Structure 1
Amino acid sequence: MKDRPAAPTAPSPAGQRILVVGAGIGGLSAAFRLQRAGYAVTVLESTDHVGGRMWTEEMGGYRIDTGAALLPDSYSEMRRLIRDAGLTDDVQPSGDIYGFLRDGTVHRFGKRLPLRLLTSGLLSTGSKVRLLRLAADAHRLKDRIGFRDLTLVPEADESCTAYADRRLNQELFDYLIEPLSTNYYFAPPEELSMTHVYLAATAALGTGYFNSPKGMVFLPRGLAERLDVRHHSTVHSVEEGDDGVVVRYTDHQGGEHRETAAGCVIAVPGPKVSGLWPGMPAAMRSYLSRLRYSTCLHVSFGLSERPAEPSTWIFVPRREYPGGLGLCLDHNRAPGRAPRGKGLLTLYWPTHLSEDLYDASDEDVTAHALRDLERLGLFPGLSRRIEMTRVSRCRPCVPLTHPGSIAELTEAVRSLDRTSRIVPVGDYFSFGSTNAALASGEQAATQLAVTLTGADRARS
């Protein structure tokens, strides 16, 4: 029997109303937790659907995840939210085999990553010995590196290139650090700090995964069904006053609104926050102004039959192919992505290639993807099996931490007033991932509830 969400607790004494700006997973998780705490919550979303980067489109029996794709078992916050929302029956274990391409051979790994890496032909003996250094460093940081607070690991501010020069070697940089950066964050390691690699090493590689046959949208859609979400509602400003928070927005019919709520959660991508919140602290505004996001352009191909390759994801280093890229065999990644016996293959480009192609027509982008697949030579005769194509664009996609960004984030977080009735939410507080956004939303709900409870007590 499908589990049911627990009934909300009794309404708060003052019956406060809270507005949440943005129906991505961060905003929805904040709204869900606040509603369960007894608050009257309304979510204002500018588009016609929920989920943001956690969205799935259906085409001819194929389910295409247009943004986020992987859900590691280490996403404990997401697992808990799924349970509390009564969506446990919607998920099941999914594919956990990923491959690294070298010299035309795909070297495959799964949950037993450390052992397989030490026995695989992907790396030389010297590199395998040096790889133990990365394992030791990641283990040392594992209790502090997570999805909630990146400021706890200032030593991870080091650049990927500096770390590789100091602790690893060129081979490990070329066949591990670079493909991880390109495939998880769509950015070259020269532009990133080690935080990204440490997270991949501690939270994604060598672990199991889960997913839903309904697609990644199962969670935001499931949460939205339990909430008051108003689509095509464009928020213009959020300002805190003596009596609460004033939110100005335009509804789906073009009507102008000026509403006062007890509190407000702003859950939109970092670059948009400053324009909505005039009173944002200067240090936070400065941090967000310097924040960079990756761009993701990918092409999905529906196939009349499935390739024999068992991997879920294939990392193609730029040493093996100009610019590097990633391949996801979606039918191996999660159930429900392709009709029975058919396949779904998605090609991902890193940011610089995605930017070059972003404004091209779907036809030109698809043709480019086909040429890349043919040149790789991993799936002979693939073009004859294609029966559906879909081009997906995501900009901004994933926030990127550059060397020094943790110090900037630390200053920005310290500038925020924890008693403010306006609370920002986003994965820009931690790692670019759905779980980081979700965890940020839950933290915001807790913080805002504490603030409003304290205000109630002060008035009584």
Structure 2
Amino acid sequence: MDNRPTSPLSARARQKVMVVGAGIAGLSAAFRLQQSGYDVTVLERSAHVGGRMWTEEIDGFRVDTGAALLPDSYRQMRRLIRDAGLTGEVVPSGDIYGFLRDGKVHRFGTHIPLDLLTTGLLSPRSKMRLLRLAADTRRLRDRITFRDLTTAPEADESCIAYTDRRLNQELFDYLIEPLSTNYYFAPPEELSMTHVYLAASSALGTGYFNSPQGMAFLPRGLARHLDIRHNTTVLSVQENDDHVTVRHTDPTGGERQQTAAACVIAVPGPQVAGIWPDLPAPMGAFLSRLRYSTCLHVSFGLTTRPPETSMWIFVPRREHPGGLGLCLDHNRAPGRAPDGKALITLYWPTQQSESLYDLPDQDITARALHDLDQLGLFSGLARQIEMTSVSRCRPCVPLTHPGSIAELRNGLRSLDHTSRIALAGDYYSFGSTNAALTSGEATATRLTVTLEARPAPRHTL
């Protein structure tokens, strides 16, 4: 008889952990749990990994269908890229933003404080008022993080109230509103200041990185390490004394029931209650009220590159009804367009996206060309098009409305942190790939502590 003590790693290897959802939150949790020695299986409803972090390759162009920007402030993502052996797949990328006013693009790069002093985008009075936003952002920087927003209740203030108290109408029109429309795809009247603080501290005036292979490089790279079951819909997750029961369909449509030591649920917030019937009521209330933006965007592959150097142009409502976002993908990141060619993507905010969402692609494309023509930024664009792609993203980004931080705090307090079921998602912080990834890693750490304290017998698929 072998009486040698079992090592922590060998004990963990006998424990199955299941992860629901192969977006970046689920993949990050799965990767870290597997690193810790657990036997991990990921169940994914769709035919590919990545969720909103995906890339389509079309006629030599790479179109990122969801997330697009990776600031250097994404330190957690940088670490995960290194640990997954993907460092060689990333390079520095574009870092110049443009803000449109009166038909002129005003550009800002990594030296944004100097750029703001010299820009014609804002009046001298607004530049002085902008110092207030800079001071408030600096004061809150250590408490507004990608992991948890609940330590910064001041960020629950509405954009309208903050503007009235600290800024002015010009800053609202040419900074707050376009940031809301382009980062959240929602009007600032519906949002809290959370996204503005995070954008100011982590995205504006910083460098960026990306992969020539497209945003899908990270989920694809993580997936190579993992056991992922595609075309699998999870029906319910139930916790018992020493295990978790997961019911799901298989690719043929048949229903199966399996057990595991623990389970991570990494799906959009409003979907959680449908598969976890014992979700605590306060967290359920937060997730049920959570609203996501809708993003509809059209990409045009062009035969030649325009002279514009910005990677992204913010188009305020003052310049176009409802506001727009324009991404010059060939400036944003390498590998998006063949040499000498261009890739330009038009993004609509939620209201316009919803009104167009179900129309045929040709009608949506015609509307995009009309809106681009109205801006007058790219002369002769229609004659240069050789590829067109329409991308739909619903749900897109979770919206932080005034009061959402307090609701999140109540929800988090209701969770049992010794439970064998844990949540991961971008709704814990600013809606971004890095927030989702950070949540997945934090969940993996929490479950490791739980399973060390509450060992379970081995359960197999």
The TM-score, its normalising length taken from structure 1, stands at: 0.97
Alignment of 1:333 onto 2:323: no
Q: Quick check: 1:11–1:37 contact (8 Å CA) kept in 2?
A: no
Partner of 1:5: none
Q: Quick check: 2:13–2:39 contact (8 Å CA) kept in 1?
A: no
Partner of 1:116: 115
Structure 1 unaligned blocks of 5 or more: 1-8
The code of the aligned residue for 2:428 comes to: F
Offset from partner CA, 1:341-365 (integer Å, 9 cap, x none) = 1000000001000011011110000
Q: Quick check: 2:13–2:38 contact (8 Å CA) kept in 1?
A: no
The code of the aligned residue for 1:264 comes to: C
| Secondary structure at 2:105 match in 1 | strand
1:339 and 1:179 mapped to 2: Cα distance? Answer: 30
Alignment of 1:18 onto 2:17: yes
Alignment of 1:259 onto 2:238: no
Partner of 1:61: 60
The code of the aligned residue for 2:240 comes to: G
Q: Quick check: 1:12–1:37 contact (8 Å CA) kept in 2?
A: no
2:333 and 2:285 mapped to 1: Cα distance? Answer: 40
The code of the aligned residue for 1:184 comes to: Y
2:371 and 2:275 mapped to 1: Cα distance? Answer: 41
Q: Quick check: 1:55–1:216 contact (8 Å CA) kept in 2?
A: yes
Partner of 2:428: 429
The code of the aligned residue for 1:103 comes to: D
The code of the aligned residue for 1:411 comes to: N
| Secondary structure at 1:387 match in 2 | strand
Partner of 1:149: 148
Q: Quick check: 1:156–1:193 contact (8 Å CA) kept in 2?
A: yes
CA RMSD in angstroms, aligned pairs only:
1.1
| Secondary structure at 2:9 match in 1 | coil
Task: Give the CA deviation at 1:12.
Answer: 3.0
Same amino acid, percent of matched pairs: 74
2:210 and 2:96 mapped to 1: Cα distance? Answer: 14
The code of the aligned residue for 2:421 comes to: I
Please identify, of 33-42 and 243-252, the stretch whose mean Cα deviation from structure 2 is larger: 243-252
Partner of 1:6: none
1:163 and 1:13 mapped to 2: Cα distance? Answer: 49
* Closer/same/farther in 2, CA of residues 14 and 226 from structure 1, 3 Å limit: closer
1:115 and 1:457 mapped to 2: Cα distance? Answer: 58
Offset from partner CA, 1:234-277 (integer Å, 9 cap, x none) = 10000101231000001112232111100000000111111000
Partner of 1:44: 43
Alignment of 1:187 onto 2:178: no
Task: Give the CA deviation at 1:114.
Answer: 1.6
Q: Quick check: 2:71–2:208 contact (8 Å CA) kept in 1?
A: yes
The aligned length equals 450
Offset from partner CA, 1:53-89 (integer Å, 9 cap, x none) = 0000000000000000000000000000000000000
The code of the aligned residue for 1:224 comes to: A
The code of the aligned residue for 2:381 comes to: L
Offset from partner CA, 1:79-102 (integer Å, 9 cap, x none) = 000000000000000000010000
Task: Give the CA deviation at 1:152.
Answer: 0.9
| Secondary structure at 1:213 match in 2 | coil
Matches within 5 A, 1:58-457: 58-456=57-455
1:291 and 1:10 mapped to 2: Cα distance? Answer: 38
1:422 and 1:455 mapped to 2: Cα distance? Answer: 13
The TM-score, its normalising length taken from structure 2, stands at: 0.97
| Secondary structure at 1:127 match in 2 | helix
Q: Quick check: 1:14–1:456 contact (8 Å CA) kept in 2?
A: no
The code of the aligned residue for 1:419 comes to: T
2:397 and 2:149 mapped to 1: Cα distance? Answer: 15
Offset from partner CA, 1:27-67 (integer Å, 9 cap, x none) = 00000000000000000001000000000000000000000
The code of the aligned residue for 2:337 comes to: A
1:21 and 1:457 mapped to 2: Cα distance? Answer: 20
1:417 and 1:431 mapped to 2: Cα distance? Answer: 23
The code of the aligned residue for 2:149 comes to: L
Task: Give the CA deviation at 1:289.
Answer: 1.0
1:397 and 1:256 mapped to 2: Cα distance? Answer: 29
Task: Give the CA deviation at 1:14.
Answer: 6.5
